[in-house]
Amino acid sequence: MSDAPRIATAGGAGPAGRSGRLAEIAPSAPPARQARASSSLLLREGSQQAIERLSELQTEPDWLRAERREALQLAGDLPLEANPLFTSYVDLRAARFDEIDPYLETGDAAQMSDVLPEGAEGLLVVSDDRVVARALSPAAQSAGVVLDTLPNVLRERADLAAHVRALVEGSATLPQNDKFAQVARALSALGLVVHVPAGVRLEQPIVIRWAVGQPGRGLISRTLISLGEGAAASILEEQLPSVSPAAGAQSLWWGTSEVVLARGASLDFAAQQDFAQDTLAFVNRHATLGQEAQLRWALASVGGQLHKSRIDNQLVGRGSGVNQVEIGFGGGSQLFDLTSYTRHIGEDTSGDLLSKGVFLDRSRGYFKGLIDIERSARGTDSFLGEFAMLLTKKARSVTIPSLEIDQPDVRRASHSSSVGPIDETQVFYLMSRGLPRELARKFIVMGFLEPVVARIPLAEAQDRLRELLEQKWPADSTVATEPAA
C-alpha cells in the first residue's frame, strides 16, 4: 500500500469564460466571502414540536421518531456549506422562508386514480399534500414490486419495514454533513417507497409525479428506492406546478431520492423539473452501489426561482459504476446551484459525470463537483466535466470541479470545465451550410443539452422536455453575440 500523500486538486471556470487547470488546494483555505444566506432555513422555534406532531400523525415507530430528533439536532448545528471550496457559492437571497408554511398532515386523497399511463410499469402522483394516483401493472404487482407511501409500508408490510429500517437508520442514505439533507430527514411530511425485489427486471419505467405550487405552502418529502440483487428498473420523476403561476407568496418543494442498489442491480433515474417561477426547489439525491451495480442519472431543470441540488454517489462494491448527466437552463433571475459528490470506495469502480448549463438574461449557474478516491479504490476510472454557455452579457456561471485522490493506482482521475458564449466557429460552420444565424445558434444550444433529453425513458416525456427547452429560447433573439463581460 502506497504511503503517498492525499492529493487535493481543483479547477474551475468563472463568468468570463476562463478554463481552469489543476491547482493544489490547501484543505483549510478560507472562503473568499461569506455565504449570502440565513443559516436557519425552515428551522424555527417550533421545529421540535413539528417533528413530534409529524411522527404522531404518521404513527411512526420509535426508531423513526429518534431519526427525526437526531436530524433536527444535526441540521441546527451544520453550516449551509461544509466544503470550504464551495462556501462562496451559496446564495439563498431569493428564498423567503418566513412566508412558507410546510405541510404537516399528508397522505392518500379521498379518491385516487389507479389508471396506469401507456408505456409505464407504475405511477404515483402527489398533488401538493396528497397522493392522488397510484397504480402498478399486473406484472409488477405479481413480481412483488412495491410503490407506496412510507406510512403504508411500515404499517402493512412488516418484512419490508425491517428492510427500510436497515437501509436508512443512522442517516445511512443521506449525507450527515449536509444541512439540507438533514432538514429533509427531520421534517419530511411525506415518504415514498419504491422496492424492486431481487431478480425482477422491469421493462417499462415507474413514473413519480410531483405537482407543487400552492402559494405560501411547502412540501418536504423523502423517496426511498431499493433494488434487490440482480434487479433492474427505470424511474422517471416529473416536477410540475399544481396551480397556474401567479404573483404572491413563494411555494416550496424539498425532497430526496435515496437509492440503494444491491449486487448486480441496475437503475436508470431520470428527472425533469418545471416548477412555476415562484417555487423554490431543494433536492438531495444519494445512492449507495453494491458490487457490479450500475446507476445512470439523467436530470434536467428549467423551472423555479431557485433550484439547489446535491448528488452523492457512494461506489462501495467492486465494479460498480455511475453515469450522470445533469442540465440546467436558466432565464430571468433564476439560480441553479448543482453540486455533485462521487466517492470511490471499492476496487475497479467507474464514474462519468457531466453537468451542463445554459443561461439567459440575469440567470446564474453554480456547478460544483468533487471526485473522492479512497485508499481502497484501486483501479478507479472517473471523470467530471462541468460546462456552461452564457447567452446574454449579464448571465453568469461558475464551475468548480475538484479531485481528492488517496490511491495512486487508478486508471483515470480527471476533470474539465469551461464557461463562455456559443462558439462562433460552430455558428459559422452551420451558416455556411445554409442555416440562418439565429437558427444555427439555437441548434447548437439544443444539441449541447440533448445528451440528457435522450436519456429520458418515455418518448412523450422526451418530447415534453424538448418543448420546455424550446420555450426557454428568447422569441426576440436577444442572445449575446460576444463574450460576457
Question: What are the sequence ranges of the domains in the chain?
Answer: 7-472
Tally Cβ neighbours within 10 Å of residue 426.
15
Per-residue confidence band for 483, with pLDDT thresholds at 50, 70 and 90: very low
Would you say residue 477 has pLDDT above 70?
no
Distance CA 436, CA 414 (A): 38
Q: What's the pLDDT tens digit per position in 282-300?
A: 999 999 999 999 999 999 9
Closest CA to 421 of 404, 437, 444: 444
Note whether 129 and 105 are within 8 A (CB): yes
Q: What's the pLDDT tens digit per position in 178-203?
A: 999 999 999 999 999 999 999 999 99
Per-residue confidence band for 21, with pLDDT thresholds at 50, 70 and 90: very low
122-127 vs 130-136, strand pairing mode:
antiparallel
Write down the pLDDT at residue 18.
37
Distance CA 199, CA 204 (A): 15
Distance CA 458, CA 121 (A): 11
Write down the pLDDT at residue 246.
64
Decide: helix, strand or coil at residue 262: coil
- The set of residues, in sequence order, having a beta carbon less than 8 Å from that of 387 and lying 6+ positions away, is 354, 355, 356, 357, 399, 416, 417, 418, 419, 448
* Mean pLDDT for the stretch of residues 342-371: 97
Q: What's the pLDDT tens digit per position in 51-86?
A: 999 999 999 999 999 999 999 999 999 999 999 999
H-run or E-run covering 191: strand 190-196
Distance CA 66, CA 52 (A): 10
Distance CA 258, CA 171 (A): 10
The grid coordinates listed for 234 are: 427505470
Q: What's the pLDDT tens digit per position in 441-453?
A: 999 999 999 988 8
Q: What's the pLDDT tens digit per position in 93-113?
A: 999 999 999 999 999 999 999
* Threshold 0.75, pTM exceeds: yes
* Average pLDDT of the chain, as a whole number: 90
User: What is Dmax (Cα atoms) for the chain?
Assistant: 69
* Mean pLDDT for the stretch of residues 296-319: 97
Work out the angle at residue 183's Cα, subtended by the Cα atoms of residues 180 and 188, and round it to the nearest 5 degrees. Answer: 125
